[in-house]
Amino acid sequence: MEITNVQIRLRSSLIAMADNCRHMLLYEYILKIQSLATAANLAFGRCVDIATREYLRSLTLGTPLPDPVSTFQALWAQETSENILVFTATQSPDVFERMGTDLLRDLPERWDATGYEVALDADGNPLLDVSLSYYLGRFTNIDVFLDGTLDVIVYTDDSELAVVDVKSAAASHTPLYTLRSDQLTSYQVLVQGNRRKLGLPPLRRLGFWDFLKRRASARIEPPLLVPVRSAQELLAFRDKCFWLAEDIKRRRFPKVSRMQFNTPCEMCAFAQHCIYGDDEGLVFPASSSQQTA
C-alpha cells in the first residue's frame, strides 16, 4: 500500500550532519541514540550562548544587567559537575573557563561597538533564542517542514534587519563560507516565512558573530554579515531539503569516510559502534535495535 501521509521535519544541524555522513544522521536523529559523553566544545558553546543571550535580553528590556562573566562561570561549573565532558589533549576545564571569562568580560564593549539593536516581535518580545517553523512543501508524498532556533535577530547600525548567529569558534568564519552556509540559508527561510506574524520588515542581512576560542588571546570579532540569498539560491536549498527528506523516507543512510584528512569518523560519537559494534558509552532507546552497524 502506498504511504500518502509522511511528515518529515528538518533543521540546519540535521542537514549539516547529513552532509557529513548519512549514517551519523541515522544514529542521532532517526534512532535517537545518545552518547553518555558530550564534547567540551559543545558544552562551552551552550554556556557562552546563554550568557550572551541573557545579557542582551536585559539590555533590550531595560532591566538590571546581569554580569555575563558570572553567568558564564555558573553555567560552566554546572556543566563540568553534572555532565561527562570529552576534552582534547590541549583542552581542560580551566582552559575553557579562562577563555569564557575573557570573552564574556569583553561582551558589553563589543556589543556596543556593533551599533546593533535587538529586534522585537509584534508583542514587544526581544527576538533572542527564537524557535520558528515553516512548511517547505510536499514532495513525493512527503510533507517537509523546516525548524530552527535563531540566536538573535537585530537591526544593524544601517537600520537593516539581520539574523546573527553567535559562534564560539576556533577560527573566524570567512565571507565565502558565510555566503554558502546552509544554516544561515535555513534561518532566512524561517524568518521570511514568519515575517508578518513577527511584525518585521524584510530581512536584508545574514551572518556570524565569532567568539574566538584562543588559549592566550580569546576575543570577540566584529560580526560578519552578507546579503540575503537570492530566489534561485532559496529554490536550490528547498530542493536539497526535499531530496534529503526523500532519502530519510527511503532509509538511505550510507556510511561516508571521505579522505583521511577530513573524515567525519574521527570526531563521531558513534564510530566505535559503527565500525566495531561496540556500544559502550551509548544509550539506545527501547525502540531502537543495536544492530545498526
Instruction: Give residue-wise pLDDT tens across range 72-110.
Output: 999 999 999 999 999 988 899 999 999 999 999 999 999
pLDDT above 70 for 289 = no
Q: Which amino acid is at 11?
A: R
Residue 293's pLDDT band, with cuts at 50, 70 and 90, is very low
Q: Which amino acid is at 88?
A: T
The grid coordinates of residue 123 equal 508583542
Q: Which amino acid is at 163?
A: V
pLDDT above 50 for 3 = no
3-state secondary structure of 95: helix
Helix axes 12-20, 231-249, angle to 10 degrees: 70
Q: Residue 132 has what pLDDT?
A: 98
Q: Give me the sign of the Cα torsion angle 75, 77, 82, 85.
A: positive
**What's the CA gap between 190 and 211, in Å, rounded?**
24
Q: Give me the sign of the Cα torsion angle 265, 266, 268, 272.
A: positive
CB 228 within 8 A of CB 205: yes
Residues 6 or more apart from 276 whose CB is under 8 A from it?
293
Would you give the DSSP letter of residue 158? T
Give Cα separations from 167 to 68, 105, 198 (angstroms). Answer: 16, 16, 24
Long-range contact set of residues 16-19: C-beta below 8 Å, sequence gap at least 24: 16/182, 16/183, 18/244, 18/247, 19/182
Average pLDDT over every residue of 240-262: 95
pLDDT above 70 for 204 = yes
Residue 190's pLDDT band, with cuts at 50, 70 and 90, is very high
Give Cα separations from 190 to 31, 200, 265 (angstroms). Answer: 26, 12, 31
What's the mean pLDDT when you consider all of the chain?
94
For residue 126, the surrounding DSSP H or E stretch is none
What is the Cβ-side half-sphere exposure of residue 31, based on CA atoms within 13 angstroms?
A: 22
**What's the CA gap between 189 and 148, in Å, rounded?**
10
